Amino acid sequence: MPGRIHTAEDTGLNDSDKVIALSTELLNRVLSVHVQLTATATAGNRLAQVMARDSGGNILWASQPTAVQAANLAYEYTFAVGLAVDDSAALNTFVRVPLPYSWLPSSADLRIRDIGAVDAAADDMTVRVVYETAPQGG
């Protein structure tokens, strides 16, 4: 059953903890999440994570690389269905991370963050999401 493709984004600066709301009436399947994370000079390793949560805030799945991002660097992360893990020393500051291939319930959201919240109020994060929706049931 083919669904409709949607995009969502949060390009606000000075924030490394974002929440992207998905459809409130349909099932949702996340296809890709592109994250640009620019770290300030504040010491500490950043670890980007994408987490799917249901409407009650319960974690359905989470995905993150093993590579960390040091202070004063800008990385591009691609989280996507079907990718093989390729985060070996974040080659050329590009990191690829697989996402699970699963349908999420209506009103689910995605939380994209630096797990350690090293400089959450000053690091810059831009997030772009591509997801598919389909009717529930039937």
* Residue 93 in domain: yes
* Residue 5 in domain: no
* Residue 71 in domain: yes
Nearest Cα residue to 128 out of 2, 4, 3, 6: 6
Q: In this prediction, what percent of the chain has a pLDDT beyond 90?
A: 70
How far is residue 6's CA from residue 25's CA, in Å, rounded to a whole number?
14
* Residue 134 in domain: no
User: Tell me, what's the pLDDT at 91?
Assistant: 63
* Residue 10 in domain: no
Considering its fold, how many domains does the chain have in total?
A: 1
* Residue 45 in domain: yes
Give residue 84's domain range: 15-124
Q: Provide the whole-model pTM.
A: 0.90
User: Tell me, what's the pLDDT at 89?
Assistant: 55
Chain mean position to CA 84:
16
* Residue 2 in domain: no
* Residue 49 in domain: yes
